[in-house]
Amino acid sequence: MDRRQMMTGAAAALTSSSTLLSGTAFGSPMTADNAARPKPPVAKKIPKTITQLGRTRTDDYAWMKDDNWQKVLRDPSLIKADVKEHLTEENAYTKAMLAPTEALQAAMFEEMKGRIKQDDASVPAKDGPFEYYTRYDKGAQHPIHARKPVSGGAEEVLLDEEKESKGKAFYQVGAATHSPDHKLYAFAVDEQGSEVYRILVKDLATGAVLGEPVESTTGDFCFSPDGQWLFWTFRDDNGRPAKIYRRPIKGAAKDDVLIYDEPDEGFFIGVGVSSSEKYVVISCGNQETSEALLIPAADPTAKPMVFHPREVGLRYEVEHWNDHWVIRTNADGAVDWKLVTAPESATGKANWKDWVAHKSGRLISGTMAFKAWFVRLEKVDALNRVVVTAKDGAEHAIAFDEAAYALSLEGGYEYDTDTVRFVYNSMTTPRQWFDYDMKSRQRTLRKTQEIPSGHDPSKYETRRLNAKAADGAEVPIFVLMKKGTKLDGSAPLLLYGYGSYGISMEPNFSIRNFSLVDRGWIWATACPRGGSEKGWSWFLDGKKFKKKNTFTDFIACAEHLHAAGYGKPANTVAYGGSAGGLLMGAITNMRPDLFTGIIAAVPFVDVVNTMSDTTLPLTPPEWPEWGNPLEDKEAYDYIASYSPYDNIGAKPYPAVLATGGLSDPRVTYWEPQKWVAKLRPATTSGNPVLLKINMEAGHGGASGRFDFLKEIALDYAFAVWAVEKGWTKA
């Protein structure tokens, strides 16, 4: 992309922190009289009484859930009229309230866009005679999938997403890959944001799509190693992965063969191929129990064989390595996982032998197998490291210097290679792609993330802090700020958090966050229990009947930061999405005094109702995480004690922005809609409560790489607006 000035005219005036924090950043003057504010929508109340396990609750806004929501996910035009009318009014109110920030939103969007290399390309991944990669044309929202011969030659376009997306409000490719013989290209497409994918297989010689598209899938699929069959995961009417099918490459729906039907509605399933390409592997499981089934590549139509029968509480993942299996498992109390081996022909647990022993606090989070090497990714005290093991058992770790960094492995296609690729970055350092020679131990830098508008890491600093929770637990916090930022409480603070499902927050480089940091903000990422930053025990201490630890840990982080001069309640905005939106809802009820603004993106806030609704995609699979309020009185009472929607009271709430997507199957649109409807009349502070629902997208928001940034820019502009109390001034 050509370097260019990102802001001109009035927008340029918004770049200085003094302007944005002086109360004059929002355009022409307006009266400070709150009576001049737009009037918020008032949601009708239709009380619905629900009796469950001897407990009774009344839900005034249950009507917001469309009874035909599954059909609405696939076709939003079917949504019932009163729900659509209310959502339209809410969107209009939010637009009117945030109108004074539109110049700021535009400026931030252009800044974020300016940090993206418009004609960017991935590092090519070699597979036999070709190198495969994706790239963007200038201005394109979606990538081109392409390849070139290793020996040299012209590029061949495999899939042009930008072309295919024309005229569509939403277009997202969930997975794409070539067949083992390089003659076909398969890809899964979602054109609604509902995560209902169709899979198409393209003949690369003719450009024609073979057979019929595979409908109603999760987007998960693989070719058989002989390239003659397609395996995929079927998505049922409740949005769950329920079955695995097989189809001949040139076949149609009439040729589909059901090869696995998951009996437990609480299990997720998927299908893939072992790195050795000797087996098709079906993986099944929830957060507590797992099971794998095998299909020999030499006989792809064979009946799947169980690797080891599921046992409640036993989790395992399998990888075939040469003539045996390597299993990552929590067996025998290995909370942070260990690696065991088993003979290729005797896979049952009785044959498992310890290989890499369990070590408390060292989370073995992932593995990769190569013909002569085995690689594992470990996390210790919130930081990752890569460990390489040779066939003879000798191992070494790849070392890094920064105190806080993010590290990930990037999968390739080839099994017989000495090269593994990893990606390194930190909150100040853009991403770097390295090819690491496991034999010579030399690393080759293949690409550095380019920031066209410029980035000087020396102008920023990142810190690793620890907040002490009430029970003494040390909660990690990663901080990014401009060098020289005064730690006297004057700099505004954005505190981000998630804390669920064992997902770790990493100190990643983000092209987005600098639009706040460059304006004098401090960005802090909290790592409360519920994630796995400090091992799997960190997750276990923040789930089910210990879920409140997630909320109190986040509160402890806010208090610690304030005490150390990183912001103060009057200029602190909390930010989280999905299960992180649950976190936002909970801390808003528990400690509204600690924050001046809350951004809750696709927030999971209606926990009792959602976890009692077995038709929703994630409800049965997530009972191990939250508890089952349909059958367990203790679970019901505990969930009800923190569920944000059920604990709203007359309190001085901060300003709130809740966002969602009409086609979202994970956190359905009515959760933020109901939360806002109940929260707005309850707040005693006079602070606004806003709702923005994307009527053309799902859980992840807009699909284009630039359009998505507009949504982030709105979030960040709201944060500035909340600190500035933008609703009382222009």
Q: Which of 256, 606, 646, 664 is catalytic?
A: 664
Task: Check if 664 is active-site.
Answer: yes
Contact 602, 659 (CB under 8 A): yes
Q: Which of 165, 283, 426, 578 is catalytic?
A: 578
Q: Which of 86, 178, 562, 699 is catalytic?
A: 699
What are the backbone dihedrals phi and psi of residue 638, each rounded to the nearest 5 degrees, phi first? -70, -45
Q: Where are the alpha helices (DSSP H) in 472-531?
A: 514-517
Opening angle at CA 441, ends 435 and 443, nearest 5: 30
Write out the H or E segment, with its range, that includes residue 424.
Answer: strand 419-425
Question: Using only C-alpha atoms, what is the Rg of the chain?
Answer: 26
Task: Check if 578 is active-site.
Answer: yes
Q: At what angle do helices 548-563 and 633-642 cross, to 10 degrees?
A: 30
Tokens coding 488? 């006297």
Task: Check if 142 is active-site.
Answer: no
Q: At what angle do helices 707-724 and 102-114 cross, to 10 degrees?
A: 130
Contact 333, 305 (CB under 8 A): no
How close are the terminal C-alpha atoms of the chain, in Å?
35
Whole-number Å distance between alpha carbons of 500 and 259: 33
Q: What one-letter code names the amino acid at 400?
A: F
CA atoms within 13 A on the CB side of 551: 22
Whole-number Å distance between alpha carbons of 84 and 69: 13
Whole-number Å distance between alpha carbons of 656 and 573: 10
Whole-number Å distance between alpha carbons of 583 and 605: 9
Whole-number Å distance between alpha carbons of 501 and 328: 18
Write out the H or E segment, with its range, that includes residue 494.
Answer: strand 493-496
Cβ-based neighbour number of residue 360 at 10 Å: 12
Whole-number Å distance between alpha carbons of 192 and 255: 27
Kindly give, in sequence order, each residue whose CB lies less than 8 Å from that of residue 299, ignoring residues fewer than 6 positions away. Answer: none
Edge to edge, the sheet with strand 419-425 lists 406-410, 419-425, 432-437, 442-448
Q: What one-letter code names the amino acid at 20?
A: L
Opening angle at CA 155, ends 153 and 158, nearest 5: 140
3-state helix, strand, coil in the chain (%, to 5): 25, 30, 45
Q: What one-letter code names the amino acid at 382?
A: A
Q: Which residue has the tokens 């890094």?
A: 400
Whole-number Å distance between alpha carbons of 286 and 310: 11
Catalytic residues: 578, 664, 699
